[in-house]
């Protein structure tokens, strides 16, 4: 589940900016209540900047808000389960993998500059994403079983065509087996997590106020 990460500002009070010659102007506002917690517009905008950094394009505020609500649900259960935070070494390795996902260090720096996200924010998002994904993995992986036919089908439909499209000789099924099995496990985790989140939404009190009014 590439569901990426809610921000540390979720529980911060509303911010106001004094304006000369007029009443105070609100520069942040509540866009959702989840149980007794709140999500601010600044949380939505901050996560959207991170999305621009990752993918080069923004998502709608409504889509980002839904992701924040899903992340609240996962974080709430993980907290009750006392699931441990990732270590600094794990976070550092994840950041290095993230950097390698870009075509070059220059592209990484350019995307970071264009999105306006800081090194500290990237680290916070990576840590939070790692925490959530690790918890979901621990919750759903033990019950997942991948049969041989699924492995063979994935190999024939995904691995071989991808290698051939790049002018490469496809790896043998045996050499690709571990990769294929892990890809199928991750797919199953994402599917089970999506179903669980939809069910959990029915049990969580959510009030949306993205347009400034309760929905």
27 domain-assigned: yes
**CATH number of the structural domain spanning residue 28:** 1.10.4030.10
Strands (E), the chain: 16-17, 25-26, 30-34, 37-40, 206-208
Question: Considering the entire predicted model, what is its pTM?
Answer: 0.81
What's the domain count of the chain?
2
Instruction: Please check whether residues 166 and 121 belong to one and the same domain.
Output: no
Per-residue pLDDT of the chain (215 residues; tens, 9 = 90+): 434 333 333 333 233 333 333 443 447 999 999 999 999 999 999 999 999 999 999 999 999 999 999 999 999 999 999 999 999 999 999 999 999 999 999 999 999 999 999 999 999 999 999 999 999 999 999 999 999 999 999 999 999 999 999 999 999 999 999 999 999 999 999 999 999 999 999 999 999 998 866 65
119 domain-assigned: yes
Instruction: Please check whether residues 108 and 126 belong to one and the same domain.
Output: yes
Supply the range of the domain harboring residue 57.
1-138
Q: Which helix (H) or strand (E) holds 133?
A: helix 119-140
Instruction: Please check whether residues 91 and 196 belong to one and the same domain.
Output: no
8 domain-assigned: yes
Final residue before a domain boundary, out of 118, 138, 158: 138
Give CA–CA dist 110/119, Å, rounded. 13
Final residue before a domain boundary, out of 138, 154, 188: 138
């Amino acid at each position: 589940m590439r569901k990426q990460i809610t921000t540390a500002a979720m529980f911060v009070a509303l911010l106001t900016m004094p304006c000369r010659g007029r009443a105070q102007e609100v520069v942040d506002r509540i866009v959702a209540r989840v149980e007794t917690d709140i999500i601010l517009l600044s949380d939505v905008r901050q996560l959207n900047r991170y999305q621009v950094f990752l993918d080069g394009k923004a998502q709608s505020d409504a889509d980002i808000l839904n992701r924040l609500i899903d992340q609240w649900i996962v974080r709430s259960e993980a907290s009750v389960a006392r699931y441990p935070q990732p270590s600094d070494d794990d976070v550092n390795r994840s950041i290095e993998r993230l950097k390698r996902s870009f075509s070059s260090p220059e592209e990484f720096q350019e995307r970071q500059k264009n999105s306006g996200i800081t090194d500290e924010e990237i680290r916070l998002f990576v840590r939070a994403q790692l925490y959530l994904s690790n918890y979901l993995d621990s919750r759903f992986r033990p019950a997942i079983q991948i049969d041989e036919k699924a492995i063979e089908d994935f190999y024939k439909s995904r691995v071989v065509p991808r290698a051939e499209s790049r002018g490469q000789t496809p790896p043998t099924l045996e050499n690709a087996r571990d990769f294929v099995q892990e890809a199928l496990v991750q797919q199953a985790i994402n599917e089970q997590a999506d179903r669980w989140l939809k069910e959990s939404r029915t049990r969580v009190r959510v009030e949306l106020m993205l347009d400034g009014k309760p929905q």
